[in-house]
Amino acid sequence: MLGTGVSPSGPAFVSRQGSARVLLVALLLAPLVPCVASAGDPVVPVPAPPADARSEADTLRAAADALRPSLVHLTWVPAARPEAGERRVGLVLGPGGHIVAAGPTAFEPGRWIARRDDGHSAEARVLGRDPETFLTVLASPWASLPAASDDRFPEGGAAEGGADPRGRAVALVGADDVLALGAVRATERHLVVEVPGVGTSTSTGLLEAALAVLPEDVGAPWVDADGHVLALTVAASSTPAEAPARPQPGPALGVPIGRARLVASLIERYGSVPRAVLGVWTRPADSALRAHLGVQGGHLVVRMEPGGAAAKAGLQVHDLLVGLGGRALPEPTSLGDVLLEFRPGQRVNVRIVRQGEILERELELAPR
């Protein structure tokens, strides 16, 4: 999957060292002004940001505070290395109050420990895992954890996570504090990881943001100024600064929240994610092709699986997929997310554009 990135200026970033959190305010359209302090350092004055920057940061923090009751502290304890527990953040979702955790390392044998704000801890039972999104769904050990309300999740748009999020300011929300502020800068990123016990796994259609993310922030949600959750963090920043405790802002990768919710619901129902495939490799149609064909979106077929479902139905390389199962595929909808709504063996109609002509074909979705 291909995507183009945008690099807008973020409103602010938070740098953390140990338990300390020092705010680094990035003036809009101005360089980043660092201010690192310790208990014995004098106070270093920082120029005040413009009023609009302050209000945007304050709005993001307020949105983060409203979401925090639905977050929980998690620790992943691998069976082979019980001393190497990994801290994470979990989001409580759904009517069952299940906890969604993230991270590819949690697929080997081990235990999840959940901790509430009052300090009480308990083991959380694994309901299922999905290696393609690096998500794990846990049964909450307590009935009292409040799930994030439905109005926290935007409808439609990019990967069913709202309108195109590129350029949108977001807060990285931890169970105790706002961990970082930044901005979404790209969609359709992918991550290839060697997952213990699974093998090489590729997660596609991820969002990328300029956020200073530590390993213990994996699972933390990104929330925008409207209070909408856009993504769950699956990978920490890959460009540390002088010390690992002070990463540079970004790139951080997150699973779009629409996909995370759908994966969680499938795991709750089936214990896993039954995936159907078309038997094609695609990329989103670029603006020039969309304008030439007069369409709003679509996915261009760049490779076919010989004997696959699409090949049997007569699809060809260079066909433009614009509809699947009665659903349009507007830019930048993820084809993989749409396929999550169907089951292997299900027959669906596919709408394509071939040499300017709109055609429809019926095919039977194959299992992955």
Is there a domain that residue 108 lies in? yes
Q: Are residues 136 and 263 both part of a single domain?
A: yes
pLDDT in tens, 288-318: 888 888 888 888 899 999 999 999 999 999 9
Q: Which of 124, 140, 133, 236 is nearest to 179 (CA)?
A: 236
CATH code where residue 75 lies: 2.40.10.120
Between CA 262 and CA 342 the distance in angstroms is 11
Partners of 100 in the beta sheet? 91, 137
Helices (H), the chain: 51-67, 257-270, 287-293, 309-312, 335-339
Q: Which of 364, 363, 344 is nearest to 266 (CA)?
A: 344
pLDDT at 75 over 90: yes
Please give the DSSP secondary-structure letter assigned to residue 53: H
pLDDT in tens, 354-365: 988 999 999 999
CA distances from 55 to 18, 52, 63, 148 (A): 28, 5, 12, 25
Between CA 163 and CA 214 the distance in angstroms is 27
- The count of structural domains within the chain is 2
Where is the domain boundary, 242, 273, 304? 273
Is there a domain that residue 340 lies in? yes
Between CA 225 and CA 207 the distance in angstroms is 17
- Coil, helix or strand at residue 339: helix
Least confident residue range of 152-156, 265-269, 278-282, 301-305: 152-156
Q: Which of 320, 317, 306 is nearest to 366 (CA)?
A: 306
Residue 221's domain spans which residues? 1-10+51-273
Q: How confident is the model at residue 109 (pLDDT cuts 50, 70, 90)?
A: confident
- Coil, helix or strand at residue 58: helix
Q: Are residues 256 and 331 both part of a single domain?
A: no
Q: Are residues 68 and 176 both part of a single domain?
A: yes
The backbone torsions φ and ψ at residue 18, rounded to the nearest 5 degrees and listed phi first, read 65, -130
Is there a domain that residue 269 lies in? yes
CB 126 within 8 A of CB 88: no
Is there a domain that residue 45 lies in? no
Is there a domain that residue 28 lies in? no
User: Which residue bears the tokens 């929300």?
Assistant: 173
Structure tokens at 149: 């309300």
User: Residue 238 has what pLDDT?
Assistant: 54
Q: Are residues 288 and 358 both part of a single domain?
A: yes
CATH code where residue 294 lies: 2.30.42.10
User: Residue 236 has what pLDDT?
Assistant: 73
Is there a domain that residue 17 lies in? no
DSSP string, 191-233: EEEEETTTEEEEEEEEEEEE----GGGTTPEEEETTS-EEEEE
Q: Are residues 81 and 224 both part of a single domain?
A: yes
Between CA 48 and CA 136 the distance in angstroms is 42
Q: Are residues 251 and 116 both part of a single domain?
A: yes
User: Residue 155 has what pLDDT?
Assistant: 64
Is there a domain that residue 24 lies in? no
Quick one: average pLDDT of 272-283? 87
Q: Are residues 159 and 178 both part of a single domain?
A: yes
**Number of other CB atoms surrounding residue 22 within 10 Å:** 14
User: Residue 248 has what pLDDT?
Assistant: 61
Is there a domain that residue 33 lies in? no
Q: Are residues 267 and 324 both part of a single domain?
A: no
Q: Are residues 163 and 257 both part of a single domain?
A: yes
CB 306 within 8 A of CB 276: no
Between CA 138 and CA 136 the distance in angstroms is 6
Output the furthest CA–CA distance in the chain (Å, rounded): 72
| Amino acid identity at 212 | A
pLDDT in tens, 113-150: 999 888 899 999 999 999 888 899 999 999 878 888 88
User: Residue 224 has what pLDDT?
Assistant: 93
